[in-house]
Homo-oligomer: A and B are copies of this chain.
Amino acid sequence: MSERIGFIGLGIMGQGMALNLLKAGFAVRVWNRTARRSQAAAAAGAVVGSSPADVAAHSDIIITCVSDTPDVEAVILGPDGVIHGAQAGSLVIDMSTISPQTTKEIAAKLADKGVQMLDAPISGGSEGAAKGTLSIMVGGDAQQVARAMPAFEAMGKAITHVGGTAAGQTVKLVNQILVVGNMLAVGEALLFAQQGGLDLNKTLEAVSAGAAGSWMLSNRGPQVVNRDWRPGFTIDLQQKDLRLVLEAGDQLGVPMLGTSMVFNLYRTLQQQGLGAEGNHALVKALEHLAGVEIGG
């Protein structure tokens, strides 16, 4: 008999993930802070729990997928939190992107109750969540990773066990450092190209396949040229992730020269009400500095 799953957090990512678990045949009990967002999962066969503690009390594996560090602390450690319902031997999997340091603290508190924990942040956006093609970066005990694998496989494709507790969160932050660094380069390169009088589509064609190539250049470069700012991932969410990077970099004594600059540039865009645009709208900060627009 497969394990009973609890799923907490039915946001833009969690919706698709919970539905994919149901589709794979798992019994799923859900909870969401805003109750009406549980409707789609309920219609697909999920039981709606009355609190995180209630969900945990009726589940073998409890997945949390919420926004930020304080949200995870609230649903796991808060009043009516998972820790007050979870039975010894159950497994909590946090799939949010949060502080590695806080992840270690939460794992230690759960361990005191005999409850295991994995950190398993995701990338691949809402399409990946809906299609079950997420990348999942997992930190924690190997035996618990094996235990969780059927659930992971219902939600994602590239599932990598990267190390012990919090290693998944740390790898996720590494991922974001690369994403925004590559995006800064794309923005700087395209603005330079336009002001240098180049045809931007020809430029992309000439440089994308070689040493200058990146996923961001191939996927977001054409969007920038077409001024298509629809989000695969929003500035607001990326800003939140970069705050985690800078906090961790501060603790670890690692100079985050590029990332801290991008953090500050995103801040100026949020200030101007652009936080809901795609994180490739980073180039707009450079445009504002230069007083020109790509394609403008």
A210 and B202 form a contact (CB under 8 A) = no
A224-257 interface mask toward B, CB cutoff 8 Å, 1 = contact, 0 = none?
0000000010000000000001001100111111
Chain B residues with Cβ below 8 Å from A124 are 210
Is the CB–CB distance between A259 and B188 below 8 Å? yes
Q: Decide if B185 touches A182 in the complex (CB within 8 Å).
A: yes
Q: Contact between A193 and B174 (Cβ–Cβ < 8 Å)?
A: yes
Which among B179, B209, B217, B257 is the interface contact of A184 at CB below 8 angstroms?
Answer: B257
Which B residues lie within 8 Å of A210 (CB)?
Answer: 123-124, 135, 158, 175, 215
Contacts of A137 in B (CB 8 A): 206-207
- Judge whether B196 and A248 touch: CB under 8 Å: yes
Q: Is the CB of B167 within 8 A of A178?
A: no
| A211 adjacent to B203 (CB under 8 Å) | no
Q: Could you tell me the distance in whole angstroms from the C-beta of A295 to the nearest C-beta in chain B? A: 15
> Do the beta carbons of A189 and B178 come within 8 Å of each other?
yes
Q: How far is the CA of A265 from the CA of B188 in the complex (A)?
A: 18
- In the bound complex, residues from chain B placing their C-beta under 8 Å from that of A188 are 177, 181, 254-259
Taking the nearest CB of chain B, how far is it from the CB of A155, in angstroms?
Answer: 15
**Interface members, chain A 113-161 (any B CB < 8 Å):** 123-124, 135, 137, 158, 160
Complex Cα gap A80–B217 (Å): 44
Contact partners of A290 in chain B: CB under 8 A: 253-255
Interface string of A176-216 (1 = CB under 8 A from B): 11111110111011111101111100110111011111111
Kindly state whether residue A45 has any CB partner on chain B within 8 Å.
no
Tell whether, in the assembled complex, residue A184 and residue B186 are in contact, meaning their CB atoms are under 8 Å apart. no
> How far in angstroms is the closest Cβ of chain B from A255?
4
- A-B pairs, 7 with minimum CB distance: A181-B185, A178-B212, A214-B214, A160-B206, A170-B196, A195-B252, A177-B189
Identify the A interface with B (CB < 8 A). Answer: 100, 123-124, 135, 137, 158, 160, 162-163, 167, 170-171, 173-182, 184-186, 188-193, 195-199, 202-203, 205-207, 209-217, 219, 232, 245, 248-249, 252-259, 261, 265, 286, 289-292
* 29 A-B residue pairings within 8 Å (CB atoms): A123-B211, A137-B206, A137-B207, A160-B202, A160-B206, A162-B203, A163-B197, A163-B199, A163-B202, A171-B198, A171-B203, A174-B190, A174-B193, A174-B198, A177-B185, A177-B189, A178-B189, A178-B213, A178-B217, A179-B211, A181-B181, A181-B188, A188-B258, A192-B248, A192-B254, A255-B289, A257-B261, A258-B258, A261-B261
